[in-house]
């Protein structure tokens, strides 16, 4: 992505929208590492009156849009991509969605709209871990065959291992000449790397105890 951490509002920046706003801690950490604000600020996360809210907040430098109610991020990203086209600009727009979020009809309207207007500077990345708030995606509202549906809606579709950083870099760096918006289906495992968390919907909400946190950090190769 093109960005300037010293000027988060630069008109030429690429836009990143985290539609699954509950995953904000990952974005906050990346922004701190890229110099948008001091790492020390992350200690304010979740505190009263902190800008580092539990769902991503546009008050944080580098964050484009506050999200939390699912189904809003992609339509917003589509609007940004359309504005880019209408202004003759060259920046790109990226949106990260959850798989369970695709239950929302607003996303499918956005998929149709983006394809109709050939918004080829838009990329939607779908975190496909097959679990959502209270159960599996399959049992809640089946979305398969997802790749075929997105292709039928007029998108260029790529499937990738969402834990393979090199594969993600290659996929997102690939130049698509189809003049279509691009959907990257990133196959992931919820709780990856922590044995007692992997593929367990319990950890969609629950905070680990001190003992569980120590075990998790150890399994991930960090000191508690």
SS3 166: helix
Cα distances from 20 to residues 96, 175, 210, 211, in angstroms, run: 7, 26, 26, 28
Rounded distance between C-alpha atoms, residue 147 and residue 61, angstroms: 34
- Cα 147 to its chain centre, rounded Å, is 18
Cα distances from 172 to residues 46, 138, 160, in angstroms, run: 32, 27, 10
Other Cβ atoms within 10 Å of 141 Cβ, number: 11
- Using one digit for the tens of pLDDT, what is the confidence trace for 114-163? 999 999 999 999 999 999 999 999 999 999 999 999 999 999 999 999 99
Calculate ∠ Cα 32-169-115, nearest 5°. 100
The mean pLDDT values, 10 residues at a time, for the chain of 224 residues are: 96 97 97 98 96 97 95 98 96 97 97 97 97 94 97 98 97 87 98 96 93 96 80
| pLDDT the model gives residue 224 | 58
| pLDDT the model gives residue 177 | 80
Rounded distance between C-alpha atoms, residue 62 and residue 40, angstroms: 16
**Which single residue is written with the structure tokens 């000191």?**
223
Rounded distance between C-alpha atoms, residue 81 and residue 95, angstroms: 11
87-110 b/e with 16+ CB inside 10 Å = b? eeeebbbbbbbbbbbbbbeebbeb
| pLDDT the model gives residue 35 | 98
| pLDDT the model gives residue 18 | 98
Rounded distance between C-alpha atoms, residue 82 and residue 161, angstroms: 29
Helix intervals (H) in 117-164:
137-141, 146-152
Name all domains of the chain by residue range, CATH numbers in brackets: 15-188 (3.40.50.970), 191-224 (no CATH)
**Residue 39: strand pairing partners:** none
């Amino acid at each position: 992505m093109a960005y300037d951490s010293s000027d988060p509002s630069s008109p030429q920046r690429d836009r990143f929208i985290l539609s699954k706003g509950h995953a904000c801690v990952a974005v906050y950490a990346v922004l701190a590492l890229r110099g948008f604000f001091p790492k020390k600020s992350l200690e304010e996360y979740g505190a009263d009156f902190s800008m580092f809210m539990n769902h991503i907040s546009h008050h944080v430098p580098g964050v484009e849009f506050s999200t939390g109610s699912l189904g809003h991020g992609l339509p917003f990203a589509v609007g940004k991509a359309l504005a880019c086209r209408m202004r003759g600009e060259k920046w790109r727009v990226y949106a990260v969605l959850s798989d369970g979020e695709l239950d929302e009809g607003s996303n499918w309207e956005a998929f149709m709209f983006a394809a109709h207007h050939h918004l080829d500077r838009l990329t939607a990345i779908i975190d496909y871990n097959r679990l959502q708030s209270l159960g599996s995606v399959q049992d809640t509202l089946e979305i398969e065959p997802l790749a075929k549906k997105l292709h039928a809606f007029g998108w260029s579709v790529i499937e990738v291992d969402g834990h393979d950083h090199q594969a993600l870099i290659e996929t997102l760096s690939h130049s698509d000449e189809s003049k279509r918006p691009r959907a990257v289906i990133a196959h992931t495992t919820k709780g990856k790397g922590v044995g007692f968390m992997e593929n367990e919907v319990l950890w969609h909400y629950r905070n680990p105890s001190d003992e569980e946190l120590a075990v998790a950090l150890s399994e991930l190769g960090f000191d508690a």
